[in-house]
Amino acid sequence: MTERTADDAAVTARVSTGRLRGAARSGVARFLGVPYAAAPTGRRRFAHPEPPEPWEGVREAVSPGPTAPQLPYEGAVGEILPSVVIPGEDFLHVNVWAPEGAAPGSLPVLVWFHGGALTRGANALAAYDGTAFARDGVVFVAVNYRLGSEGFSVLDGAPLNLGLADQLAALRWVSREIAAFGGDPGRVTAGGQSAGASTTAALAVHPEGGRLMRRAILQSGPLLAAAPEKAGRITRMVAEELGITATREAFAATAPEDLVAAQHRVASGAGPLTGGPAFSLAVDGDLVPRSPYDALRAGAADHLDLLMGATSEEHRLWMAPTGMDRALRRPVLAAVAVRFGIGPGTLRRLRARRPGMSTGMLVGAVLGEVLLERPTRRVADARARRGAATHVYEFGWRGSAAGLGAAHCMELPFVFDRLGTADAEALTGPGAPQDLAGAVHGAWVEFVRTGDPGWPVWTRGSAPRGWNGS
Ramachandran region of residue 133, left (φ > 0), alpha (ψ -120 to 50) or beta? alpha
Residue-by-residue DSSP string for 374-413: HHHHHHHHHHHHHT--EEEEEE---B-GGG-BS-TTTTHH
Q: For strand 305-311 and strand 215-219, is the pairing parallel, antiparallel, or unpaired?
A: parallel
Q: Which helix (H) or strand (E) holds 428?
A: helix 422-428
CA pair distance 347, 59, nearest whole angstrom: 57
CB 71 within 8 A of CB 256: no
| Pick from 279, 261, 277, 260: nearest CA to 269 | 277
Which candidate in 206, 315, 391, 408 is catalytic? 408
- Indicate the SS3 state at residue 73: coil
**CB-based contact 188:204 (threshold 8 Å):** no
Active site residue 408: yes
Residue 79 catalytic? no
User: Are 165 and 132 within 8 A, CB to CB?
Assistant: no
Q: Which residues contact 331 (CB under 8 A, 6 or more apart)?
A: none
> Residues 328, 320: contact at Cβ < 8 Å?
no
**Catalytic-role residue among 150, 314, 369, 373:** 314
Within a 13 Å sphere around the CA of 309, how many CA atoms are in the beta-carbon half?
26
* Residue 26 among the catalytic residues: no
3-state secondary structure of 365: helix
Hey, which residues are catalytic here? 194, 314, 408
